[in-house]
Amino acid sequence: MSTNEEIIGRADLNDLEAILSVSAADQDDAIRAVKDNADAIFTWDYEKGSRPALNKLYEKAKVSMWNGETDLPWDTEVDQEQVARDNMALGSFGDIDLTHTPFANWGDDEWMNLGMEFQNWSLSQFMHGEQGALICTAKIVETVPWIDAKYYASTQVMDEARHVEVFAKYLDTKLNGHYPLNAHLGLLLDDIIEDSRWDMTYLGMQIMVEGLALAAFGFMHQMTTEPLLKKLLRYVMSDEARHVAFGVLSLKEYYAELTDAEMLERQEFAFEAAVRMRDRFMQQEVWERMGLKPKEVLPLLIDNPNRLLFQQMLFTKIVPNCKKLGLLDRNDGWLRHRFEELGVIEFEHLTDTSDEYQAFALGEQELSESAASLGA
Ligand SMILES: [Fe+2]
Ligand SMILES: [Fe+2]
């Protein structure tokens, strides 16, 4: 059994020095190369529908495509300050006394700037995460041995291209300023891509990264009053719910056959992913850009009740899905105990995402609007 040191590189989850020591090194390079250590697998079993749940998802995906250029109201005038204001609660410190902190002399302008930076940073990380999903899902097309899964994954590749496209367009034309890939998210994406086992791509991407994204998009969708962003998120979520279902349905079959030792490796990987994603939300790059020292800000964040609530909310999809896959309870509840330490175990009883995609699907009204906009 591995130690925290071996899994996440530090013994204490809240070791701020260690969290801050991970920073983006290659942000000035135009590309990032990651070794993809996997075999491309051909299958000669072409029987479509031998995995009915995946086949159903594939058929659903075929008729749920939308067009990022024509289905979203790009002519909307976006008031960046309003977008920031909608999310302000997240950047605030609630009732925490800020005298003797770097925020002691902050006025409305600084808080507004922080809100706008936070918005740019969040959407930038989503954009980079979407590119990670694009690459991981293309890898799944190559590595998964089942034809129904290859078919479905191919539709997800198209979905992810559309997601990268719309987030990039929103950042470029409606906000001002990208952020580079957050180093903690980068570590996680590297680990997922480098792993040679096909199920690890699913676990890292479909269950952990996309599970978090689905919750985060839902939260932002609820908070924002900006109509273009709201619609963009609504459309992306309708796809993401299918993607998470793809992960749950595929891994449920595979994990039922694994030994305890093999399951422990998956549990440790899920824990590592959870910690990397939590560390990412310390948003150290934002503090640096605001001229603050992250070392002075992070201690305030660690105990900030607003941030803790937000952090917990990010796990509302991940925890029930891990439970459904048997990851929480195998090996004497190894992952259950880790999720208890992270303060997120309470979500284990929420609905898992294996068929929740039906509830997230775009309604007939929305799809017919899409069809009309395409001239159909
Ligand atoms: Fe996506
Ligand atoms: Fe996705």
Residue type, 365: Q
Q: Is the pLDDT at 302 greater than 50, yes or no?
A: yes
pLDDT score for 360: 85
- CA–CA dist 131, 246 (Å, integer): 18
Q: Which ligand is nearest to the CA of 165?
A: 1
Q: 277 alpha carbon to ligand 2 midpoint, in Å? A: 16
For tokens 């299958």, name the residue.
43
| Rounded distance between C-alpha atoms, residue 250 and residue 264, angstroms | 18
% of the chain at pLDDT higher than 70 = 94
What mean pLDDT is predicted for residues 124-150? 97
Query: Is the pLDDT higher at 236 or at 311?
Result: 236
Average pLDDT over all residues of the chain? 90
DSSP-H helix ranges across the chain? 4-8, 16-20, 52-62, 80-86, 88-91, 108-143, 147-174, 183-194, 198-201, 210-223, 227-255, 260-280, 284-289, 294-302, 305-313, 318-324, 330-341, 357-360, 364-373
Question: pLDDT digits over 182-204, tens only?
Answer: 999 999 999 999 999 999 999 99
Between the CA of 209 and the centroid of ligand 2 the distance, in Å, is: 9
Output Rg (C-alpha) for the chain, integer angstroms: 21
Report how far ligand 2's centroid is from the alpha carbon of 43 (Å).
Answer: 25
Under 8 Å between Cβ of 348 and 275: no
**Rounded mean pLDDT, 10-20:** 82
Distance 284 CA to ligand 1 centre (A): 24
The average pLDDT across 217-234 equals: 94
Distance 366 CA to ligand 1 centre (A): 19
| Residue ranges of domains in the chain | 78-92+105-373
Question: Which tokens is 345 given?
Answer: 């175990």
Q: So what's the pLDDT on residue 30?
A: 85
Cα 206 to ligand 1 centroid, rounded to whole Å: 10
Centroid of ligand 1 to alpha carbon of 213 (angstroms): 8
Cα 100 to middle of ligand 1, angstroms: 42
End-to-end CA distance of the chain: 57
What is the per-residue pLDDT for 308? 82
78-92+105-373, CATH topology level: Ferritin (1.20.1260)
Between the CA of 284 and the centroid of ligand 2 the distance, in Å, is 25
Asked if pLDDT for residue 25 goes beyond 80, the answer is no
Report CA(317)–ligand 2 centroid distance (Å).
14
* Distance of CA 163 from the midpoint of ligand 1 (Å): 5
Give the integer Cα–Cα distance in Å for 166 and 127. Answer: 9
Residue 374's pLDDT is: 45
At 375 the pLDDT is 43
Output the DSSP codes for 91-140: HS-TT---TTSTTTT--HHHHHHHHHHHHHHHHHHHHHHHHHHHHHHHHH
Closest to 323 in 3D by CA, of 239, 201, 222, 211: 211
Burial status of residue 168 (CB atoms within 10 A of its CB: 0-12, 13-18, 19 or more): middle
What's the average model confidence in pLDDT over 333-355?
A: 90
Q: Are 160 and 130 in contact (CB under 8 A)?
A: yes
271 backbone dihedrals φ, ψ, rounded to 5°: -65, -45
Closest CA to 128 of 290, 323, 285, 317: 285
293 C-alpha to ligand 2 centroid (Å): 34
Q: Indicate whether 179 pLDDT > 90.
A: yes
One-letter amino acid identity for 170?
Answer: Y
Are 176 and 80 in contact by the 8 Å Cβ rule? The answer is yes
Residue at token pair 């793809």 = 246
Quick one: average pLDDT of 135-164?
98
Distance 84 CA to ligand 2 centre (A): 25
Cα angle, residue 219 at apex, residues 204 and 281 outer, rounded to 5°:
55
Report which residue type is found at 191. Answer: D
- How many angstroms separate the alpha carbon of residue 134 from the centre of ligand 2? 8
How many angstroms separate the alpha carbon of residue 130 from the centre of ligand 2? Answer: 7
**Centroid of ligand 2 to alpha carbon of 5 (angstroms):** 30
pTM comes to 0.93
At residue 371, the pLDDT reads 52
Contact indicator for 220, 233 with CB cutoff of 8 Å: yes
Q: What's the CA-to-centroid distance between 328 and ligand 2, angstroms?
A: 23
What residues contact 209, with CB distance under 8 A and at least 6 apart?
129, 132, 133, 188, 189, 192, 273, 277
Distance 202 CA to ligand 2 centre (A): 11
Residue 136 CA: which ligand is closest?
Answer: 2
Taking only the tens place, the pLDDT of each residue in 73-100 is 999 999 999 888 887 766 567 777 888 8
Cβ-proximal residues to 131 (8 Å cutoff; 6+ apart), any chain: 160, 164
Pair 310, 282: CB distance under 8 Å: no
User: 229: CA distance to ligand 1 center in Å?
Assistant: 15
